[in-house]
Structure 1
């Protein structure tokens, strides 16, 4: 089988232009942009209206709002494919569609590419050339970053203004920068999101290949909804973490984190070694590091013996004091970098005299040999400022205080954890036990039939128990007498709780009564609850009671799942038994969860220390808590009718975890659930294919398929490689293989054929949806030479076409070399039509129109 290639919209001409055409050059904004273009010594050509707008790689639109439609039409007529609209104007997407041109904006702050000498922005300062890219919407934050970068000598590959994010938005820009060889890290400032799922999909794709650090100053949504953080403080950070993105919370932290991720190698481990020429400052730094939650490296006997050869004696535990010899800091850092117990090194240089310059030069020289993160705090201002400038010029991560360097190492660790979380791909069904979905559907149906949108206590606990979540046995009672009888059957000591559809169980004092020794006490407690309810002025006609046996002693926990306006369902985890409306204390993550992600959520929650062994009490069973989180995640994935699920309290102890109270809110009938922000691994697409005695597993691709994918391509002929990649390459860069095997299932699907006998990848078909509405997509398909004639290519293409139909794709296209006759014949048999590509005699386009339908 031969190959069709994907040729998606390529933004390289926009973000690395050789020519620029500016309209609106006589407006105040246009005059400023034109002056900056000319002052920056752009290596390409610049045209304005005076030059009769001509074909260019990039159009800049600084016209007044009323003139923008005509300006876009003139640029498009001249053959320009991409434009940046610097002016503010409503209705830009419609204007762009009418003109047939793609646009960034409106109100973009433009584009700066220092490597080209391009300053297509209103900013008079231009940063030097470097390896970080900035993508954002706020011109004030962009100006602040530039104002910091210029005097500090920090360089950038790109400064790109998304503006209103109305057409070409974050998705396409991040896709380009993540593959741009001049970019090694991305700074992302997010103010407004047009399409949250598409944004997070693109961010995750970029973070697979580049460190991405973000700042989100109150993300705003279409339709005037409240900003994201007011709804769940930890949710946005959790969502970005699952995308592999490091979220920061101030401009200073944003800048510092970006510099660290750009200049420092990834963390090898969590343990930080401190080396200093000042004993006192070393001790203070160690205290600051432990207070910040970092682990100090404990040197092995072997490492201590090696250091003793330089120091004259083994170093004591804690920071390593290098002595006064100026080059000793560098020597000790180099030795520590070879110790497997060291995850990163913090070197602190305190001013010590005339030989300080020698110490700094030695650090610069040895940094090239160090393969772990190296952070340097060069203290002082009179000489320390000069030292930091020299370190920065050498592209080393330098800081003015130990505390700032400690924050930098924490950024490295957070980034490592986030990128690991982004690689987790829980399936749409991760439970090893079989939930009773029918019981859940029956109870929800009964609630709907009764006109209830709130399910409380025993019914809610029964729904959670259907997913094998341990719950305390409960009985529902309508009167104090019934409550006493129920308690006698369950056993004592007993608990009586108010059950009311409009009132959470623990909303007011006295609605829960514990440690009731007998039936009389239960009866009296139930009467007291009714009395308190009347005093509250609440409707007592709907009141009932839930009777339970007393829960075992343990740490009270809470799991709460609710909708976030940007992120969809969010799982909160933290301490239980408090204010039901308080979510600030909850750590957060997004479904789907697996056990790895669940354990990570537990450990970053504020309640985590209470789960460890303390004061003679054994540690709680973390495995049981994690299993509960995974089962709750599965319940909300399988049950889109659930708007809110609140398990509070859950009692965790050394033998397990058990839920004592639950509350479920249902969505209004006909109201759809927001889509899951993180697509589960689509295991439902796994099928088997057999031909001529050979068995294949057809399944969606996973990141761990990278090596097998590379091995498959190595078995292709030179001609097959030319057909697939439009060039005579023999091997693919690692980044390209990563991009091909680690896909976001929301906008892309790759189905691979795996030999069931050997596990080798034998073929793949891919469908990539466009970056706007997803109604069109581009395909690629390839099978290795040894399996030609088995119909495997047809099976793979049928699988991705079926997936495209379920996603609402209406048109599939693919670029094929005109001399690829076998591929053209194959694709025609599948129903594709063939069309010539204007201006390209060696390429044709295959096109298939679909009628979207549900499987």
Structure 2
């Protein structure tokens, strides 16, 4: 079978778009067309460039510079001829509908073009031609793209591709990222994102690409759109779960690009600093401490070796300043530090000093290529420093103008390391170590719906939390002062008495809480005082009750907040509690589903060292209990899409555990559906043990840890199996191919493997990838090794693949098969696939299975 992603003639072929051989310029008579013609002619593109659609039988790339009203007619003329896509530079209304009607793919509207510098192709609306290199740039703003190209020129950065996504009507970030992730000539990817048509598809593609390439994103206007920063935090969390590093300024964008383009990944989280400037080293150390970057604490053995190199043992955790260090001395010490296991990265500060600079820079270049830890260089100054930084940059060394910028670069490496780890986490649909009482939750929600209430009472909210194993403070609802006294006595003292009413979910009147009540009489009196106070101000709600709770002394007040983000759906915020309900800027944010590893990272980002630490009168909060509560809240949100918002504030955390003291739960309007989670959980429920003709297999979705077994499966394939699956004599799978096959996004793709229970080895795999448009078409591939053929494993895998496709809304499954692969053709016919020849393809047939 053809690898998933293959497209024959007359179907969209990404290779034709991104490595075109035939280009047609339409609208050459317009001012824009004339400009594009001049730009194309100035580049050394060796392919054919024509300006007549009718005389070109097969077109890889069409550049449409025509006026907006003529674009639909041009697209219709391209129908049946366009193998790649058309780039639309204008802004015609209804572009997506016109492209669908013509059965062609488009980039635009309002695209700033495409460049593939390695091919000499430049169809950009830019003032300078980008140089060839390994960086890819995808964006929507022409002005920002020109700024990036202008920045890259003097910084020695070249591009594999530049793609102007424009208005994202059809081919957007998702499809382009899919291609770039597989392109061997592409390294780091830079994204400028103004808006997304399909956030779930984008994040799925970004997650797949970020496993193979560093990705840095810039989101202009993210703060302006939401001054509370919650939208920005939610978007940053979504990108982080996809493995993408988000920046919020052009300076950060350039700096992160500089670092991730040239520096090796961080080996650890501690930075060693050395240089020929004492002041520069101290500035770097100050910057590191301010940024939360830990300085490396050198082991005694490392210090002894350094002592022999520099004449005296350095302090264990201070920068190593060597004023006047000659020649390659700094590089030699940097190489030694990079070899120390306690060092995660090395920052070398070299202040220009004169004739010895050439040797020093050459030494740093040699050092960077020989060590495994990241090496960053800070070369201050402009007159001499600029030339030295450019020399380092051209040699692939991350060089910065100030020590502070270099420290920020290392911090970017650490952030990237953390988000890559988060992106590899695959929480299951169910991650709790206990079975939640879903019947109780269903009854609570049904009661609220029956009474046409969107807000749960406090008692109902507590019942929902308890059903998921979330500890709640011992509480009673009381209607009268006498009942308050009885409830207080039953709970035990001291107690808290609060006004309770569903309308108080977003605001609590001043003076509606009484604390430190030592006995029943004081509890009764407090209830009377609250009633009198609020009635006198006209703030007593009808049908109000009292909530009586045991008071916890000496506890940390925390907050868990579930909210809805317009792009990424449900979010989980965590941070300090006890403040104003609208004060959400201090909360760290992530997305469901969470597992304990992701909850741990969320607590860390929220400032675990400060909000959970041991303090006067307070024991250190039980971090494990807090993280378990976050996981349980996440599971609750995954299981019950009816819940639109949830706020636990305060969550009291002590050294013994964590308990909710107040909870607010709001439901969606009846009939409103929640969007699908943008982070699809690992579908563990699809795992199934089967026995096939005496052999036992475990069929389950693939996971990243299956990479080695996938390698071994390929090695056991016969040459015929390889040719039928990959359409060529592939000798070995590259590491990138294995990553792509074993790390999938279950929102748009599934790979089911059959594991031989006797050997533990992967014996077969069936894969389905949904299309990047509306997801109603899926492309499949299936493979079974010789030793497992003839027992029905392929059928078992495909039947389950088809069930999954139907459940996910796939309307048709399609694939391509070599005409000579008669066993496969017989197999798919038995499954119900229709087989047809493809025009112009004598050796390939297309197979289709409608799932209506």
Residue in 1 aligned with 2:817?
816
- Assess if the C-alpha contact under 8 Å between 1:192 and 1:219 holds in 2: no
- The SS at the match of 2:298 is coil
Residue in 2 aligned with 1:371?
372
**Range with bigger deviation, 664-673 or 444-453:** 444-453
Gaps of 5+ in 2: none
Residue in 1 aligned with 2:117?
114
Q: CA RMSD in A?
A: 1.9
Residue in 1 aligned with 2:78?
75
- Assess if the C-alpha contact under 8 Å between 1:498 and 1:505 holds in 2: no
2:30 is aligned, of 11, 27, 32, to: 27
What per-residue deviation string (whole Å, max 9, x for no partner) do you get for residues 481-536 of structure 1? Answer: 32222112211111111111112376332222111112222222223323443455
Say whether residues 1:243 and 2:246 are aligned partners.
no
Gaps of 5+ in 1: none
What per-residue deviation string (whole Å, max 9, x for no partner) do you get for residues 530-552 of structure 1? Answer: 34434554462131111111124
Looking at structure 1, the residues matched to 811 and 55 of structure 2 have their Cα atoms a distance apart, in angstroms, of: 39
Residue in 2 aligned with 1:178?
181
**Range with bigger deviation, 484-493 or 781-790:** 484-493
| Residues 122, 54 of structure 1: alpha-carbon distance in 2 compared, 3 angstrom cutoff | farther
- Assess if the C-alpha contact under 8 Å between 2:2 and 2:815 holds in 1: no
Say whether residues 1:143 and 2:146 are aligned partners.
yes
What per-residue deviation string (whole Å, max 9, x for no partner) do you get for residues 176-212 of structure 1? Answer: 0111111111001111111111111111111011001
Looking at structure 2, the residues matched to 757 and 250 of structure 1 have their Cα atoms a distance apart, in angstroms, of: 55
Looking at structure 2, the residues matched to 196 and 178 of structure 1 have their Cα atoms a distance apart, in angstroms, of: 18
Residue in 2 aligned with 1:761?
762
- The SS at the match of 2:503 is coil
After TM superposition, the structure 1 = structure 2 runs for residues 577-726 of structure 1, keeping only pairs within 5 Å, are 577-606=578-607, 608-615=609-616, 617-726=618-727
Say whether residues 1:465 and 2:466 are aligned partners.
yes
| Residues 322, 459 of structure 1: alpha-carbon distance in 2 compared, 3 angstrom cutoff | same
Looking at structure 2, the residues matched to 557 and 587 of structure 1 have their Cα atoms a distance apart, in angstroms, of: 12
What per-residue deviation string (whole Å, max 9, x for no partner) do you get for residues 561-614 of structure 1? Answer: 111111111000011111112211110000110000001100110464121223
- The SS at the match of 2:154 is helix
Looking at structure 2, the residues matched to 281 and 66 of structure 1 have their Cα atoms a distance apart, in angstroms, of: 60
- Assess if the C-alpha contact under 8 Å between 2:13 and 2:83 holds in 1: no
| Residues 414, 277 of structure 1: alpha-carbon distance in 2 compared, 3 angstrom cutoff | same
- Assess if the C-alpha contact under 8 Å between 1:560 and 1:647 holds in 2: yes
After TM superposition, the structure 1 = structure 2 runs for residues 123-522 of structure 1, keeping only pairs within 5 Å, are 123-218=126-221, 231-317=230-316, 318-323=318-323, 324-504=325-505, 507-522=508-523
Looking at structure 2, the residues matched to 512 and 154 of structure 1 have their Cα atoms a distance apart, in angstroms, of: 62
Looking at structure 1, the residues matched to 50 and 666 of structure 2 have their Cα atoms a distance apart, in angstroms, of: 60
**Range with bigger deviation, 798-807 or 520-529:** 520-529
Residue in 2 aligned with 1:524?
525
Looking at structure 2, the residues matched to 80 and 777 of structure 1 have their Cα atoms a distance apart, in angstroms, of: 19
Looking at structure 1, the residues matched to 511 and 552 of structure 2 have their Cα atoms a distance apart, in angstroms, of: 18
- The SS at the match of 1:151 is coil
What per-residue deviation string (whole Å, max 9, x for no partner) do you get for residues 422-454 of structure 1? Answer: 000010000011111111111111222222211
| Residues 539, 671 of structure 1: alpha-carbon distance in 2 compared, 3 angstrom cutoff | farther
**Range with bigger deviation, 317-326 or 113-122:** 317-326
Looking at structure 2, the residues matched to 194 and 505 of structure 1 have their Cα atoms a distance apart, in angstroms, of: 32
- The SS at the match of 2:35 is helix
| TM-score w.r.t. length of structure 2 | 0.97
Q: How many residues align?
A: 846
Shift of 1:275: 1.2
- The SS at the match of 2:20 is coil
After TM superposition, the structure 1 = structure 2 runs for residues 529-548 of structure 1, keeping only pairs within 5 Å, are 529-534=530-535, 537-538=538-539, 540-548=541-549
Shift of 1:358: 2.0
Looking at structure 1, the residues matched to 814 and 163 of structure 2 have their Cα atoms a distance apart, in angstroms, of: 29
What per-residue deviation string (whole Å, max 9, x for no partner) do you get for residues 692-747 of structure 1? Answer: 32111100001110110111111110011000000011211110111011111111
2:40 is aligned, of 19, 37, 42, to: 37
What per-residue deviation string (whole Å, max 9, x for no partner) do you get for residues 7-45 of structure 1? Answer: 255311111212211111122222222211112232322
**Range with bigger deviation, 539-548 or 63-72:** 539-548
| TM-score w.r.t. length of structure 1 | 0.96
Looking at structure 1, the residues matched to 228 and 738 of structure 2 have their Cα atoms a distance apart, in angstroms, of: 36
- The SS at the match of 2:816 is strand
| Residues 51, 356 of structure 1: alpha-carbon distance in 2 compared, 3 angstrom cutoff | farther
Shift of 1:125: 0.7
Looking at structure 2, the residues matched to 328 and 450 of structure 1 have their Cα atoms a distance apart, in angstroms, of: 78
- The SS at the match of 2:98 is helix
- Assess if the C-alpha contact under 8 Å between 2:714 and 2:732 holds in 1: yes
Shift of 1:226: 6.3
Looking at structure 1, the residues matched to 449 and 183 of structure 2 have their Cα atoms a distance apart, in angstroms, of: 53
- Assess if the C-alpha contact under 8 Å between 2:135 and 2:187 holds in 1: yes
**Range with bigger deviation, 383-392 or 408-417:** 383-392
| Residues 52, 468 of structure 1: alpha-carbon distance in 2 compared, 3 angstrom cutoff | same
Looking at structure 1, the residues matched to 536 and 763 of structure 2 have their Cα atoms a distance apart, in angstroms, of: 73
Looking at structure 2, the residues matched to 607 and 304 of structure 1 have their Cα atoms a distance apart, in angstroms, of: 32
- The SS at the match of 2:256 is helix
Looking at structure 1, the residues matched to 22 and 553 of structure 2 have their Cα atoms a distance apart, in angstroms, of: 73
Looking at structure 1, the residues matched to 748 and 407 of structure 2 have their Cα atoms a distance apart, in angstroms, of: 38
- Assess if the C-alpha contact under 8 Å between 1:586 and 1:606 holds in 2: no
- The SS at the match of 2:128 is coil
Residue in 1 aligned with 2:729?
728
| Residues 229, 168 of structure 1: alpha-carbon distance in 2 compared, 3 angstrom cutoff | farther
Residue in 1 aligned with 2:96?
93
Shift of 1:618: 3.1
| Residues 532, 679 of structure 1: alpha-carbon distance in 2 compared, 3 angstrom cutoff | farther
What per-residue deviation string (whole Å, max 9, x for no partner) do you get for residues 750-792 of structure 1? Answer: 1100122332101111111100001111111111101111111
Looking at structure 1, the residues matched to 796 and 84 of structure 2 have their Cα atoms a distance apart, in angstroms, of: 36
Residue in 1 aligned with 2:556?
555
**Range with bigger deviation, 147-156 or 420-429:** 147-156
